[in-house]
Structure 1
Amino acid sequence: MKSYKLVRYNIKSSLKPIIIYYCIIIAVITSAIILTKISGGNGYSSGLEFSSMIFLFVIGLNFFKENFYFAQANNISREDYFKSVAIAILEVTLGMSIFDVIINRVYNLFQMCPTLYDMSYNNFTGAPLNIEVWIQSNSIGTLFGTVTFLFTFYMAAFAIGLLITLIYYKCNKTMKIFVSLSPLAIVAIYGKLAVDYPEFGEKVLIFIDNILGISTKNSYMAVSTFIGLFILSMFFVYILVRKAVVKRV
């Protein structure tokens, strides 16, 4: 019961930034539609879901400390806290994935805006050559596939953001610098290996293509990958939460 009460608290703590985010998105979309109508041209945009993904990643980065302190102040166990966080992530990301699809469909009534799902797994073949002839599908299969893809994409981004902030929480200043620089080091090492050993770079790209199902147009490969990332991230979150202590600053 305590975990479900904390779920409401966790969602409530994220509600204000979510509302602000969607107000900005709707304002930007509305401005784009108006400018397109005024200019008399054919507007085009795509992949607005990346904005939601980045937003949820940032929410994840700011999701731990205040909520964890609240849970500890109210004698809520770490297990209940973890359950509440997992449920809140699922509810928030599911709600945003559905809302994003609704916004996208309304936007497409005025201006072309294929989703990530359309561009990767559906009938969109690219702009500008396809801009005049492409018609967005609103079939049940497409809508379900889009929501499922975005839902798992978003929850993986949220969980990774939460994991990163927990790692930072546990690290000292030296380790924080190391953690911050490690992605850059990985990219640099990969770039060097890809140049020196082209077959290695090609195999990495093929692997990424396979786990995302892009060439085969199988979005459920990506869904499975994102679910795996979410579970793996939350596994480490659980380990770190069990050992987390309230820092008196």
Structure 2
Amino acid sequence: MKAKACFLYQILDLRWALLIYYFVIFCITLLANFSVITMTSSLSIAGEETIIMSGITFSSCIFMFIVGLNSFTENFRFSLQNGVSRKTLFLTRLFTAGTTALFMGLLDQIFHSLINLVGKLSSSPLMSISLFQQLYPTAWGNPVQGFFLSVIFGFCLLFLMANVGYAVVMLFYRVGKLGKVLVGAGVPALLIFGIPALKALDSMYFGERLRAFSNAVIQPVMDFAFNTAPNCMISLLVLAALFALFDWLLLRRAIVR
């Protein structure tokens, strides 16, 4: 009973955020269609020309990352005050993230389909394509198959982003003030300067051995993990599971502050 109540509490807590997010997406979609139709009629753009609209999946990834960032502190305190165990909180949080990711993956693809349908009915050159369609165009041969594969891909990607966001806020919650400064400043600096510095060190001191290792081991693994749609989805779920495990290791000994 506590698990069900905890899940419903977290789901209902997201309803307004989801409603506002998709209202904004809807307004942007309407504005884009109106602008394209107006521009087409005024400039007499040829019918065979196509204007591509994308970015809904990327926007949803940012949204789910922010959801992950905001899914811990208040829920953690509220759950412990009401006798909900850390394990129950963790499992219901995972189920909430998975349910939200599946819902958003489906709704994102419905938006893409509706934009394309409106474009055809209004003779607009605007066409919307999903991130999955951009990455794996050959998997889109059958529209029905492509639709469902895109939904599954969106679920895997959004579920991963929710777990990444949760891991970030958990890490900041567990470390002290100095740790927050080091993580907050060190991770972006490492992402920006780490790879160029590593390449320079490899050239100066290791005789390109690190690059050779990357080409021989890391690159083939990455190619195998993401070269096909099924492999990519499995890889995203594996990464999501690893981040979820990291989340649990941080949560199981977290104290109320």
TM-score range, shorter chain: 0.7 to 0.9
Contact 1:212–1:219, Cα closer than 8 Å, also in 2: yes
Instruction: Check if 1:245 corresponds to 2:255.
Output: yes
Instruction: Check if 1:112 corresponds to 2:117.
Output: no
Q: Which has the larger radius of gyration?
A: 2
Contact 1:212–1:221, Cα closer than 8 Å, also in 2: yes
Measured on the aligned residues, the alpha-carbon RMSD in Å equals: 2.1
**Counterpart in 2 of 1:164?**
168
**Counterpart in 1 of 2:58?**
50
Q: CA separation in 1, counterparts of 2:236 and 2:138?
A: 22
Aligned partner (choices 136, 142, 156) of residue 152 of structure 1: 156
TM-score by length of structure 1 reads 0.86
Q: How far off its partner does 1:219 sit? A: 0.7
**Counterpart in 2 of 1:227?**
237
Matches within 5 A, 1:1-249: 1-40=1-40, 41=45, 42-109=50-117, 110=119, 111-123=126-138, 139-180=143-184, 181-194=186-199, 196=203, 197=208, 199=211, 203=215, 207-213=221-227, 218-247=228-257
Contact 1:194–1:201, Cα closer than 8 Å, also in 2: no
Q: How far off its partner does 1:138 sit? A: 5.6
Q: CA separation in 2, counterparts of 1:55 and 1:194?
A: 33
SS of the residue 1:245 aligns to: coil
Q: How far off its partner does 1:49 sit? A: 0.5
Q: 5+ residue gaps in structure 1?
A: 125-135
Q: CA separation in 2, counterparts of 1:219 and 1:166?
A: 31
- After superposing the two structures, state which structure 1 stretch, 37-46 or 75-84, moved more: 37-46
Q: AA paired with 1:174?
A: L
Q: How far off its partner does 1:206 sit? A: 5.3
**Counterpart in 2 of 1:130?**
none
Distance 1:227 1:7, change over 3 A: same
Distance 1:5 1:138, change over 3 A: farther
Q: How far off its partner does 1:207 sit? A: 4.4
TM-score by length of structure 2 reads 0.83
Q: CA separation in 1, counterparts of 2:212 and 2:116?
A: 40
Q: How far off its partner does 1:178 sit? A: 1.4
Any idea what the Cα deviations from partners look like across 1:54-75, whole Å, max 9, x if unmatched?
Answer: 1100110111011111101111
SS of the residue 1:112 aligns to: strand
Contact 1:7–1:88, Cα closer than 8 Å, also in 2: yes
Q: AA paired with 2:68?
A: G
